[in-house]
Structure 1
Amino acid sequence: MPLSAVKTACLNSSLADLWQLAGGSVDITVEESVERGFASPEALLVDSASGRNINTELLVAAEPDLVIGSADTASHVRLSSFLDKAGIDMILVDMDSFDDFLSVFHTLTDITGRSDLYEKYGEGQKTAIEEIIANAAGYESKPRVLFVRAGSAFSYVKAKRTDDHFAAKIIEDLGAVNIADEYGMLTDSLSLEAVLESNADKILVVPQGDEDASIAYITDLFSQPGWRDVRAIENGSVYFLPKELFHFKPNGRWAEAYEMMEEVLYE
């Protein structure tokens, strides 16, 4: 029996999406997977939120054949050694770029025996993305971009360097300049002085948490004295990127994410 047909636990919603995309069935997961439509309401839930606080006892008692967790989540990494002692197989996924996605997706479709899905969502997206990158290379002027991940309070508003976030890697692939790579202090706090000095052409914001609250907070912040003088804000070049493509891993929508980013950068 292929592993796609046996009991599998996916410890966050992006992993549930990824496993389904590879032809697997999500039997055990977290509440957010159900909310986002990547698991049935009948799935066993081992976390009532996004998957950072897994109920280990409930997970082990469910006797999964395979557990898929995130290498970026400390609680998942700690869980791996415990599950190993319990004789439960676990895959820790490290996916910070499209190339990482290809590698992980190849592994998962090998497990499910669905090479057709790898061709469709792996190689198919690769071809589309290569065309988008080639098209972006044709633009002579490369924008300077401030890429920000934002919650609904100032302490949760921080710029991301290219090696800190997959969306920032997309920006690099498309030839734009990420000013957080030059102004590292912006990754700790969004300093108005540094933002003014950086002279960004565009500000790209990915909401986290409550999307509406995040957008409302940033809109209010950027309307304040001082912030209104930032060139990108003054020129109306602030863009809110959808969470489904740029906060959560896009999985089967990587090509769509690249296409949207190209439009934002070079419109």
Structure 2
Amino acid sequence: MTSFRILHISDTHLSPRTSHFRHNNDVMAKLLGEADHDLIIHTGDITLDGIRYEEDYTFCQEFFAGTGKDIMFLPGNHDIGDNPRLSEPAAAGGSAINAERIARYERFHGEHWWSTDIHGWRLIGINSLIVGSGEAREAEQYAWLREQLATAGSNHIALFTHQPLYVDEPDPIDLTYWTVDPDGRENLRFLMEDPRLRLIASGHLHQQRSRLFGAVKLEWCPSIAFTTREELVPEMGGRREVGFLEHELHADGSVTTRHVSPASFGNDYLDDCIKEVYPAMGQDT
């Protein structure tokens, strides 16, 4: 039986303006350089504050190039902005997603959605922040996704996204910071209900958690950089520990996931340094 391995990292939050979180990222970079996985995927929040500082992108590009590995990136809210229904616009100093912020991501990382086929699987990466945003390219992503499913044949499907599509089940819920916009998510119903879907792997919440919804594994990748206490991120049943995930995808559609937290990682809490590392962002995580 053919299987393949994915090293899944997320929420590195790197910037040249602070040495916070640098130790864990340096350890992780060495591990990436030595890794023999078939694919490496980063599910966003690459930068500490790329929506405001292009220097964060430049730093991250050089940092990851130093690993010598090809990495498949997706944007996070700290890279391109937050849901405009939850955030102030850029003109008011806020963190709302906009076309300029998306274009900056594209200059450094190219397209903000992608797919690839390997050993009977179609891996799909989406821009979760654009879902429900009203941005011009939102409809384009839906059309692209429909094409990906229409051409996937008998391949199993694994979805990678910065935000989880939902916490426990995909019923409509109130709009929150923690998941994809629930109104926009209804436009993804065709994807969530596709019988070939076997994995939704996400970041964003800085917690590790494994759940099963029907035949779909829901895997939350922890942050490389930091975790949080309940004052910043509410309890959702995850493990508040830094690290990364290793996914093994099998030909029969099953998925095996392992949480890795190297002993040399420091389990830092954003609560202890938020005013220093995010002075312009209050308590955005």
For the aligned pair, the TM-score class normalised by the smaller chain equals under 0.3
Whose strand fraction is larger, Structure 1's or Structure 2's? Answer: 2
- Give the TM-score, by structure 1 length: 0.27
Q: Could you say which structure has the higher helix fraction? A: 1
Higher relative contact order, structure no. (Cα contacts within 8 Å, ≥ 6 residues apart) = 2
Which structure has the larger Rg? 1
TM norm structure 2: 0.26
